[in-house]
């Protein structure tokens, strides 16, 4: 099993770790000299669209996947002509573009917050008049973790905002009151079989994921699975996809999708019968999908900017340390900590103990 991965960050790194039991070999295409996945395989250091590098990747791989949305869907479509390459290019194209993504939700009758397509300052002025303030202006492509965004709180913020974000295609999203944010991670096999992990409650800080806690018997699990299945089927999807929602009372409002393994699914490495990384590999390689049942109460905390004191964290029972081997830098995800427990009360206790040790620098 030889897997080619476009991108060599922590998601690629954890994919390779999940492939160890399959005796899989990995090749990563990543322009960065310090791609942290490279320790687990071969590293082709080149741009995502470097033709010679893509040929090398093809030659080294029986199947190909990617670990982020920054690669062009044309590249994936080209690779798919020569090897199984999943998730499919069309899913990537849709998820890369916030307007396409929102339009997909609408076409599938999945509720979502107010949104407008913005191609000019005039579009923006009209959309603000319609949706109201506060609202958030986002680039249609290439934004993540709060980057490429501007919150508009008052009329003055709107003036020249289109130019401020670079005169590129944007969307304006209305602010909504919501109770909390959840996500579901789901996987679809080449044969159309789907599996969904338990819904995860997420807490963000400064636009970055801070904490994810999988929920058992959440009243919105069925609704989330229904929406996820609509999207997966529509895109004839293969691999893992993450779906982020706002919870408003007993309603889910779709926020965004990610056509890849996802930070809110890292708890599955230790906490589920099959991890998102393993099931992504199983799907991409055409193997039967594994069970997504939760094994025990657990949660995941992101490590951002700076590592906390490792031994103090390890001294809290049930903690599992994930150092991605990346240089510390404010606002950068450099690791995560999984917390396992035998009861919800014990989990909360352990989680509180780890929270107090975190030295995250969000930048």
Interface contacts to a second copy, rule CB under 8 A: 13, 17, 20-23, 25, 39-40, 270, 273-274, 278, 282, 287-288, 290-291, 293, 295-296, 310-311, 314-315, 317-325, 340, 342
Nearer to a second copy, 155 or 315 (CB): 315
- CA pair distance 99, 35, nearest whole angstrom: 30
- DSSP H or E run through 20: none
Nearer to a second copy, 288 or 363 (CB): 288
Residue 43 is labelled as binding a ligand: no
Residue 48 CB, shortest distance to a second copy, in Å, is: 25
Residue 83 CB, shortest distance to a second copy, in Å, is: 20
Residue 175 is labelled as binding a ligand: yes
Q: Return the structure tokens found at 362.
A: 């969000």
Residue 237 is labelled as binding a ligand: no
Residue 299 CB, shortest distance to a second copy, in Å, is: 13
- CA pair distance 354, 303, nearest whole angstrom: 11
Nearer to a second copy, 24 or 158 (CB): 24
- Report DSSP state, residue 46: S
- In sequence order, the 6+-apart residues with CB closer than 8 A to the CB of 363 are 206, 305, 329, 330, 331, 332
Nearer to a second copy, 98 or 350 (CB): 350
Residue 315 CB, shortest distance to a second copy, in Å, is: 4
Residue 255 is labelled as binding a ligand: yes
Nearer to a second copy, 28 or 245 (CB): 28
Rounded to 10 degrees, what is the CA torsion of 141, 303, 323, 264?
-50
Nearer to a second copy, 178 or 321 (CB): 321
Cα torsion angle, 169, 173, 72, 329, sign? positive
CB atoms inside a 10 Å sphere around CB 57: 22
Residue 307 CB, shortest distance to a second copy, in Å, is: 10
- CA pair distance 330, 306, nearest whole angstrom: 7
- In sequence order, the 6+-apart residues with CB closer than 8 A to the CB of 202 are 180, 181, 182, 183, 209, 211, 212, 244, 264
Residue 147 is labelled as binding a ligand: yes
Residue 88 CB, shortest distance to a second copy, in Å, is: 22
- Report DSSP state, residue 327: P
Which positions make up the binding site? 98, 138, 143-149, 173-176, 181, 204, 255-256
Binding-site residues for ATP, please? 98, 138, 143-149, 173-176, 181, 204, 255-256
């Amino acid at each position: 099993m030889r897997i080619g991965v476009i991108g060599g960050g922590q998601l690629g790194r954890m994919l390779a770790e999940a492939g160890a039991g399959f005796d899989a070999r990995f090749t990563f295409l990543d322009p960065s000299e310090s791609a942290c996945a490279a320790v687990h395989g071969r590293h082709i250091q080149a741009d995502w669209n470097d033709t010679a590098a893509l040929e090398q990747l093809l030659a080294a791989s029986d199947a190909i996947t990617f670990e982020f949305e920054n690669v062009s869907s044309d590249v994936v479509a080209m690779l798919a002509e020569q090897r199984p390459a999943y998730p499919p290019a069309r899913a990537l194209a849709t998820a890369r573009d916030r307007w396409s993504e929102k339009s997909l939700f609408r076409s599938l009758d999945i509720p979502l917050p107010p949104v407008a397509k913005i191609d000019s300052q005039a579009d923006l002025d009209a959309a603000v008049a319609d949706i109201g303030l506060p609202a958030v202006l986002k680039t249609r492509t290439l934004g993540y973790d709060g980057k490429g965004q501007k919150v508009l709180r008052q009329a003055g913020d709107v003036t020249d905002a289109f130019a401020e974000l670079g005169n590129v295609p944007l969307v304006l999203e209305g602010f909504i009151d919501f109770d909390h944010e959840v996500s579901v991670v789901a996987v679809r096999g080449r044969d159309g079989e789907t599996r969904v992990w338990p819904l995860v409650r997420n807490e963000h800080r400064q636009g970055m994921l801070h904490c994810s806690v999988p929920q058992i018997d959440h009243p919105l699990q069925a609704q989330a699975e229904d929406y996820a299945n609509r999207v997966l089927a529509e895109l004839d999807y293969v691999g893992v996809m993450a779906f982020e929602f706002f919870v408003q009372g007993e309603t889910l409002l779709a926020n965004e999708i990610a056509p890849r393994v996802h930070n809110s699914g890292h708890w599955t490495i230790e906490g589920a019968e099959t991890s998102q990384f393993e099931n992504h590999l199983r799907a991409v390689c055409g193997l039967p999908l594994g069970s997504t049942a939760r094994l025990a109460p657990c949660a995941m905390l992101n490590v951002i900017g700076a590592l906390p004191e490792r031994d103090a964290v390890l001294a809290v029972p049930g903690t599992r340390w994930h150092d991605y081997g990346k240089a510390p830098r404010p606002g950068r995800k450099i690791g995560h900590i999984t917390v396992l427990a035998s009861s919800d009360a014990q989990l909360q206790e352990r989680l509180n103990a780890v929270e107090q040790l975190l030295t995250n620098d969000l930048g």
